[in-house]
């Protein structure tokens, strides 16, 4: 059961990184395209900028969930490191509770925001709801919650996990 | 009481080890509940925080820097620096610092600089007879130039934290002299230490070989000219120039240098996602925090507090510097920029300090924080690359700290160091 959950979280982690990575690459390509159409084709496209912003939101919340599993977020561990082992364990528990509380807030109030804005449309993309813009918030929160459950139930990903994998050519 | 609730909950959460980004989000929630603000409004501000076109410059600058750094650029910059200063006594320490100056032109990350330049230079310096700890000190202090020399994604973060009212182009230009001044100060110190300790001289590089090295490094250094040229000529915005720099960096790395393997690209994107996403979520949550802070009129109260201490601009700047140096020993640069800028900028503006000048003060100051214990990301990376202990470094790094503090005081009290170049350019 635990192994299956870890495999599922590995898959979810890969999906998050892939979504964020593809968003990043697309953003890096469509903005130069906007410059190209403005200066070379003499008819600037209006879609690269709003589309990049949509991708940026997706990148941020999918990437942030992946960062939690990879322990990449900046944290001050000085005081925890100075504390005795039982206090350190207590701190670690409190950190996970705090993270879970904020992720839950993102799920609940993010969903509320998506609901409220679902019937409005984005000016540049009339076929897209404004709610889509806010969708990465509750989804990112829900994925972070699943990663928190993994950490609390099974523990952090091992060093040979997909999270820390580097190319064979790296030092 | 409002401030106590907001800042108290923030510092408590940070102290127990909650990631700074999430601590900002939670403190914003606590503050919103305390002053009875609908939580949807906080949620909206968090999303709006990353819903900003200028912000896109940050991932692009990081990505372009990562492509260049991992695609063999560090080695070429070290070779170019060696041509220029390697033949002087203590030359390799100067090469290390000059390579960081060049590296700053392609990447705004001190951590990436330390990892890239350090892994090339530290073993080379040790082999030539320099103590490994000295090589580490040179590498980590030299890397702070990267956050000042344009393009600096930290300057973009400062601009956003200042509410987007400070021009990114002006900040980029303002960073040139402080960055070079820092490099020159460290080089002067290294020269003095090299003379005293009798560190070796390198051999001059033959002209023909020097030309070849310069051409190889030229392609990478051109990145900065594309970025600055594009912005200053008004052809591109900062974000557009950063995205073009990404495409350019990719083309140079994969088709001119050809050091990087195609199959390793997904790993590079993976690492960049982790580096950038943590900054972006920090910006998002800091936006929610800033919103609550503004509703509580915290910046106004802080300004009043400073005015009650002194009405002398120089005293206030000294106090702010001391406070930031203390905070910098505990926390990383990006979160401190995002937390402190909205609070302190109104204070210094009230005292007549230019926001661009204050940006440089913050970057130099918090740059020092990157290499001071107990928490200094560049210090940690430098020690890991060199395989030396933090204790060994902190025992010997004091002359370098002193040189950096002198630069900080000069940048603080001589505004022209930051403002002269931007004053030459009108937009």
Per-residue pLDDT of chain A (171 residues; tens, 9 = 90+): 889 999 999 999 999 999 999 999 999 999 999 988 988 888 878 888 899 999 999 999 999 999 999 988 888 888 888 889 999 999 999 999 999 999 999 999 999 999 999 999 988 888 889 999 999 999 999 999 999 999 999 988 888 888 887 765 544
- When scoring A15, A61, A63 by the number of chain B Cβ atoms within 10 A, the one with the most, hence best to mutate, is A63
Provide the shortest C-alpha distance from residue A41 to chain B (in Å). 15
**B354 and chain A in contact, CB less than 8 A:** no
Beta strands in B72-228 (DSSP E): none
Distant-in-sequence, close-in-space partners of B135: CB < 8 Å, separation ≥ 6 = B93, B96, B121, B122, B125, B126, B386
Q: Between the CA of residue A22 and those of A65, A100, B275, B349, what are the distances in Å?
A: 16, 27, 15, 41
Kindly report the CA angle at A74 between A68 and A78, in degrees rounded to 5?
115
Measured in whole angstroms, the distance separating CA B274 from the mean position of its chain's CA atoms is 18
Q: Residues B367-412: pLDDT tens digits?
A: 999 999 877 889 988 998 898 988 889 899 999 999 999 999 999 9
Instruction: State whether B17 and A21 contact (CB < 8 Å).
Output: no
Task: Please give the Cα distance from B389 to B369 (Å, whole number).
Answer: 18
Residues of B in contact with A112 (CB under 8 A): 40, 43
DSSP letter string, B264-330: GHHHHHHHHHHHHHHHHHHHHHHHHHHHHHHHTTHHHHHHHHHHHH-S-HHHHHHHHHHHHHHHHTT
Q: How confident is the model at residue B85 (pLDDT cuts 50, 70, 90)?
A: very high
Contact B358, B345 (CB under 8 A): yes
Please report how the helices B265-295 and B57-68 are oriented relative to each other, as an axis angle in degrees rounded to 10.
150
Task: Please give the Cα distance from B120 to B100 (Å, whole number).
Answer: 12
| Alpha carbons within 13 A on the beta-carbon side of A8 | 11
Task: Please give the Cα distance from B315 to B321 (Å, whole number).
Answer: 10
Contact B145, B179 (CB under 8 A): yes
Instruction: State whether B47 and A91 contact (CB < 8 Å).
Output: no
pLDDT-above-90 percentage for chain A? 63
pTM of the model: 0.85
Measured in whole angstroms, the distance separating CA A43 from the mean position of its chain's CA atoms is 35
pLDDT at A171: 41
Instruction: State whether A52 and B274 contact (CB < 8 Å).
Output: no
Instruction: State whether A20 and B273 contact (CB < 8 Å).
Output: yes
pLDDT at B344: 93
Please report how the helices A48-69 and A136-153 are oriented relative to each other, as an axis angle in degrees rounded to 10.
10
Provide the shortest C-alpha distance from residue A4 to chain B (in Å). 24
Task: Please give the Cα distance from B376 to B369 (Å, whole number).
Answer: 6
Sign of the CA dihedral running B61, B335, B319, B291: positive
Residues of B in contact with A62 (CB under 8 A): 277
Residues of B in contact with A95 (CB under 8 A): 16-18
Q: Between the CA of residue B427 and those of B170, B235, B241, B242, what are the distances in Å?
A: 9, 12, 16, 19
Nearest C-alpha in B relative to A61: B281
Query: How many CB pairs lie under 8 A apart between chains A and B?
Result: 187
pLDDT at A170: 46
Nearest C-alpha in B relative to A117: B44
Task: Please give the Cα distance from A143 to A61 (Å, whole number).
Answer: 10
- When scoring B16, B44, B387 by the number of chain A Cβ atoms within 10 A, the one with the most, hence best to mutate, is B16
pLDDT at A127: 87
Nearest C-alpha in B relative to A19: B273
Provide the shortest C-alpha distance from residue A8 to chain B (in Å). 19
The answer on pLDDT for B423 being more than 80 is: yes
Provide the shortest C-alpha distance from residue A33 to chain B (in Å). 9
Contact B172, B231 (CB under 8 A): yes
Provide the shortest C-alpha distance from residue A75 to chain B (in Å). 4
Sign of the CA dihedral running B196, B202, B204, B209: negative
Q: Residues B226-263: pLDDT tens digits?
A: 888 888 888 888 889 889 989 998 998 888 888 888 88
Total residues belonging to chain B: 427
Provide the shortest C-alpha distance from residue A53 to chain B (in Å). 6
Three-state DSSP string of B5-46: HHHHHHHHHHHHCCCHHHHHHHHHHHHHHHCCCCHHHHHHHH
Q: Between the CA of residue B206 and those of B84, B88, B94, B96, B97, what are the distances in Å?
A: 11, 15, 19, 20, 22
Contact B60, B238 (CB under 8 A): no
pLDDT at A167: 64
Cβ neighbours, 10 Å, residue B350: 17
| A-contacting residues in B 356-375 (Cβ below 8 Å) | 374-375
Task: Please give the Cα distance from B195 to A91 (Å, whole number).
Answer: 50
pLDDT-above-90 percentage for chain B? 50
Q: Between the CA of residue B137 and those of B141, B323, B367, B387, B394, what are the distances in Å?
A: 6, 24, 14, 13, 9
- When scoring A71, A73, A137 by the number of chain B Cβ atoms within 10 A, the one with the most, hence best to mutate, is A73
Task: Please give the Cα distance from B27 to B288 (Å, whole number).
Answer: 9
**Residues in a beta bridge with A121:** A129
Nearest C-alpha in A relative to B52: A53
Instruction: State whether A67 and B47 contact (CB < 8 Å).
Output: no
Phi, psi of B277 (to 5 degrees): -60, -35
**B130 and chain A in contact, CB less than 8 A:** no
Which residue from B359, B343, B331 is spatially nearest to B305, judged by alpha carbons? Answer: B343
- When scoring B13, B18, B237 by the number of chain A Cβ atoms within 10 A, the one with the most, hence best to mutate, is B18
Provide the shortest C-alpha distance from residue A115 to chain B (in Å). 12
Cβ neighbours, 10 Å, residue B380: 17
Please report how the helices B176-197 and B416-424 are oriented relative to each other, as an axis angle in degrees rounded to 10.
130
**B32 and chain A in contact, CB less than 8 A:** no
3-state helix vs strand vs coil in chain B, percent to 5: 80, 0, 20
Distant-in-sequence, close-in-space partners of B5: CB < 8 Å, separation ≥ 6 = B30, B31, B34
Cα separation of the two ends of chain A: 35
Contact A65, A143 (CB under 8 A): yes
Phi, psi of B27 (to 5 degrees): -65, -35
Q: Which of B160-164, B285-289, B358-362, B394-398 has the highest mean pLDDT?
A: B358-362
């Amino acid at each position: 059961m635990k192994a299956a959950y870890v495999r599922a979280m590995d898959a979810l982690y890969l999906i998050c990184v892939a979504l964020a990575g593809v968003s990043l690459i697309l953003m890096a390509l469509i903005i130069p395209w906007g410059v190209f159409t403005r200066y070379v084709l003499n008819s600037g496209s209006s879609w690269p900028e709003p589309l990049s912003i949509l991708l940026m939101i997706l990148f941020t919340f999918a990437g942030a969930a992946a960062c939690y599993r990879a322990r990449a977020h900046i944290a001050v561990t000085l005081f925890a490191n100075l504390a005795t082992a039982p206090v350190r364990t207590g701190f670690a528990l409190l950190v996970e509770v705090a993270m879970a509380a904020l992720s839950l807030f993102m799920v609940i109030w993010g969903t509320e925001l998506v609901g409220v804005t679902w019937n409005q449309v984005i000016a540049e993309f009339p076929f897209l709801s404004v709610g889509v813009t806010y969708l990465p918030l509750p989804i990112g929160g829900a994925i972070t919650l699943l990663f928190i459950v993994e950490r609390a139930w099974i523990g952090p990903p091992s060093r040979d996990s997909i999270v820390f994998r580097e190319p064979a050519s790296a030092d | 009481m409002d401030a106590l609730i907001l800042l108290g909950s923030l510092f408590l959460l940070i102290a127990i080890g909650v990631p700074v980004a999430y601590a900002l989000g939670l403190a914003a929630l606590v503050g919103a509940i305390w002053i009875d603000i609908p939580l949807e409004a906080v949620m909206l501000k968090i999303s709006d925080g990353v819903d900003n076109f200028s912000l896109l410059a940050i991932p692009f600058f990081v990505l372009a820097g990562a492509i260049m750094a991992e695609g063999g650029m560090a080695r070429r910059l070290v070779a170019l620096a060696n041509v220029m200063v390697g033949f002087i006594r203590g030359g390799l320490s100067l090469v290390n610092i000059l390579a960081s100056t060049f590296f700053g032109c392609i990447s705004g990350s001190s951590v990436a600089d330390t990892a890239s330049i350090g892994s090339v230079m530290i073993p080379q310096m040790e082999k030539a007879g320099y103590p490994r700890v000295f090589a580490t000190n040179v590498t980590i202090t030299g890397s702070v130039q990267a956050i000042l020399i344009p393009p600096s994604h930290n300057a973009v973060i400062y601009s956003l934290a200042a509410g987007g009212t400070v021009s990114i182009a002006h900040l980029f230009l303002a960073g040139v002299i402080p960055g070079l001044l820092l490099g020159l100060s460290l080089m002067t110190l290294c020269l003095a230490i090299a003379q005293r300790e009798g560190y070796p001289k390198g051999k001059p590089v033959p002209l023909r070989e020097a030309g070849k090295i310069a051409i190889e490094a030229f392609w990478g250094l051109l990145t900065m000219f594309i970025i600055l040229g594009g912005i200053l000529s008004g052809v591109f915005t900062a974000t557009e120039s950063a995205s073009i720099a990404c495409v350019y960096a990719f083309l140079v790395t994969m088709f001119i240098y050809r050091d990087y393997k195609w199959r390793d690209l997904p790993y590079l994107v993976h690492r960049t996602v982790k580096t950038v996403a943590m900054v972006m979520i920090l910006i998002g949550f800091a936006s929610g925090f800033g919103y609550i802070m503004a509703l509580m009129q915290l910046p106004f109260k802080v300004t009043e507090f400073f005015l009650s201490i002194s009405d002398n601009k120089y005293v206030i700047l000294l106090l702010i510097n001391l406070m930031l140096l203390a905070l910098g020993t505990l926390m990383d640069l990006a979160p401190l920029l995002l937390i402190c800028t909205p609070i302190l900028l109104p204070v210094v503006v009230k005292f007549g300090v230019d926001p661009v000048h204050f940006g440089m003060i913050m970057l130099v100051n918090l740059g020092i924080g990157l290499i001071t214990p107990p928490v200094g990301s560049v210090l940690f990376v430098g020690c890991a690359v060199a395989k030396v202990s933090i204790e060994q470094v902190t025992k010997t790094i004091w002359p370098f700290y002193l040189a950096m503090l002198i630069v900080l005081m000069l940048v603080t009290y001589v505004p022209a160091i930051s403002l002269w170049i931007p004053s030459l350019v009108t937009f």
